[in-house]
Amino acid sequence: MSKRLVLIGHPVAHSLSAAMQQAALDAAGIDARYELLDVPLPELADVIEGLRGDEFLGANVTIPHKERVVPMVDRLTDDAQSTGAVNTITREGRRLVGHNTDVPAFKVALDELVGRQKMPRTAVVLGAGGGARAVVHGLITAGFLRVIVFNRHLHRAEGLVRFFGKGAAHMELKAMPWHESIIEVELSKAKVLVNASSVGLGSDESPIPGELLPPELMVMDLVYRPRVTRLLADAEAANAAATMNGELMLLHQGAAAFELWTGQTAPLELMRAQLDAALAADAAGQDTDAAVPAAAGDPA
Interface segment toward ligand NDP; rule CB under 6 A; list 17-25, 63-71, 112-120, 261-269: 63-71
Of the CA atoms within 13 Å of residue 57, those in its CB half-sphere come to 23
If the CB atoms of residues 168 and 199 are measured against ligand NDP, the closer one turns out to be 199
If the CB atoms of residues 96 and 220 are measured against ligand NDP, the closer one turns out to be 220
**Interior/surface letters 159-191, b for 16+ CB within 10 angstroms, e for the rest:** ebbebbeeebeebebebbebeeeebeebbeebb
CB neighbours of 190 closer than 8 A, spacing ≥ 6? 122, 123, 124, 146, 148, 217
DSSP state of 54: T
Q: Name which position in 164, 224, 258, 261 contacts ligand NDP (CB under 6 A).
A: 224
Interface segment toward ligand NDP; rule CB under 6 A; list 41-49, 184-192, 217-225, 266-274: 217-225
| 197 touches ligand NDP by CB under 6 A | yes
| 199 touches ligand NDP by CB under 6 A | yes
Closest approach of ligand NDP to the CB of residue 245, in Å: 8
Closest approach of ligand NDP to the CB of residue 29, in Å: 26
> Quick one: angle between helices 17-27 and 247-262, nearest 10?
40
Which residues does the annotation mark as catalytic?
66
Q: What residues line the site for ligand NDP (CB under 6 A)?
A: 62-64, 66, 102, 105, 127-132, 151-153, 156, 196-199, 201, 207, 222-224, 246, 249-250, 253, 295-300
